[in-house]
Amino acid sequence: MANDKSRRYSSQVVDGPTKAPARAMLRAVGFEDDDFNKPQVGIASTWSNLTPCNMHINGLAEEAARGADAAGGKSIIFNTITISDGIANGTIGMKYSLVSREVIADSIETVAGCEGFDGLVAIGGCDKNMPGCLIGLARLNRPAVFVYGGTIAPGANHTDIISVFEAVGAHAKGDKSLIEVKQIEETAIPGPGACGGMYTANTMASAIEAMGMSLPGSSAQNAVSAHKMQDCHNAGAAVLQLLARDIKPSDIMTKAAFENAITVVIALGGSTNAVLHLLAMAHAIGVELSLDDFVRIGKRVPVLADLRPSGHYMMSELVAIGGILPLMKTLLDAGLLHGDCLTVTGRTLAENLDSVTPYPDGQQIIRPLDNPIKADSHLRILYGNLAPQGSVAKITGKEGLTFSGPARVFGSEEETLERILDGTVQAGEVLVIRYEGPKGGPGMREMLSPTSAIMGKGLGKEVALITDGRFSGGSHGFVVGHITPEAQQGGPIAIIENGDIITIDAEHNRLELQLSDAEIAARLARWQTPSPRYRRGVLAKYAHTVNSASEGAVTDALDDGN
């Protein structure tokens, strides 16, 4: 039977004579008399037929609803948006990608806040869905479970979406014919599910599970599988248990839980986007998290997973040997995770991992702690006169740990891609892409097309790329993003000139422009703020409200005193 805690919000909407109009509306969508006494569970679905990442999520939402109903709740499914980075990358449309994270968070908060849902299940399948869902759940702070839509199966010949991007660069180099590119295009994406490597979607799903906001195993399941359907059913039921015990996101998303998430992301060799999204999620729940936390944790956590893009294996292959739970058990036993953190099971992380068995003998995907791929983090937070407020690099060491060379400066991603493909870009150069930050872009586009072209042309060890934009989880090579302050706000990246020497030092975590302080100051004094690129619509609103990438690029951080 429902108690006061489990119906804290819905009772205000449907109880008593004055709420007859609300009940009348709900009867039209399927409520019966008994349903008005049940806790209402909102099922936030990111279903859309515009991307394989989300094309199956309607079925997952329906299964989560059945789980909530069977456990004694009353489910209500509602939708929020998704966009596809894989489709939009390299175009103006990509400006809307990070914006969509805020739209998703705002819409979940808006619907649940208005309709009086007592608890929620949120199901996301693409990389901005997941932090967007978590930000919305954190703001609401009502009992909730996140479900990952699952990973895609490999394409023919062990290909995926990044194979297609890199084939474009290989064609420009002359290594692949148009027919070969088309063959990869036709077979790399075989059906539903998120991109198959340890790209941003699988990175964020793993981080959220490590944080305790998903049921154990949720992050490492194939999109089309009985395990994923059961995960959804169990998530719906789990919300009723959380309601009964009044366990909310703020009880789970603690500072220690965020540290667990960072630890698992590093061990998996995850995406740089995790830095941006975890900062934003922490802001939403009121936890103080900074770039320096990534530095501190990165000194003691090794990279253990040989997963794409820098490694060899796909997420579906990790799923086949047990997912991330055995890795987490290894990290816990080594003292690298906080085992006392509460999770959506109602148990602690250590309790969830107690019966987890090790990986099978002979597997090559996850290295042992005494034989890591890299002894410390691949996510490097670089400071220096080019990034006074920080920047984020993804450096595994395979391309080296330092790079120094003359700058070749571009004002947009499109121009950079053209100059890579036509042979203008030369080995030894540091490509600079600026005015692509949260405000300047606006939207902080991912530089997947240029980085994939660099790799496809065989320049991965010969060319570096720095930007105030960001990178796809599929990007690899010698790349530095999230440079702050960004160019639009007068950061030093705005005053780089062609031929200036730039040094990237991932050993000492420095990003330096080889100019005197006096020359940098003189150039900055001559610099003028560019006019905003958009004056109406969602991009203009985003540029006006978004804060620095070093603080998560959130849009709801009010200035002190306002």
Return the active site residues. 472
Nearest CA to 239 out of 227, 248, 251 is that of 248
**Which residues lie closer than 8 Å to 231 by C-beta, 6 or more apart?**
147, 215, 217, 218, 221
Q: Say how many C-beta atoms besides its own lie within 10 A of residue 561's C-beta.
A: 4
Pairing verdict, β 402-410 and 501-505: antiparallel
Pairing verdict, β 387-394 and 478-481: antiparallel
DSSP secondary structure letter of residue 183:
H
Tokens of 277: 């999204």
Residue corresponding to tokens 């390299």? 90
62 is in an annotated binding site: no
How far apart (Å, rounded) are the C-alpha atoms in residues 407 and 106?
40
What is the enclosing helix (H) or strand (E) of 352? helix 349-353
376 is in an annotated binding site: no
Residue corresponding to tokens 């990044």? 162
559 is in an annotated binding site: no
Q: Which amino acid is at 120?
A: L
128 is in an annotated binding site: yes
Residue corresponding to tokens 């086949």? 320
How far apart (Å, rounded) are the C-alpha atoms in residues 525 and 527?
6
Q: Which amino acid is at 23?
A: R
How far apart (Å, rounded) are the C-alpha atoms in residues 323 and 330?
13
Q: Identify whether the C-beta of residue 159 lies closer than 8 Å to the C-beta of residue 187.
A: yes
329 is in an annotated binding site: no
H-state helical runs in 120-225: 129-140, 161-173, 178-187, 200-211
Total residue count of the chain as it appears in this document: 562
How far apart (Å, rounded) are the C-alpha atoms in residues 367 and 303?
8
Residue corresponding to tokens 């027919």? 179
Tell me the binding residues. Answer: 53, 85, 127-128, 446
- Residues making up the annotated binding site for [2Fe-2S] cluster are 53
Q: Known binding site for Mg(2+): residues?
A: 85, 127-128, 446
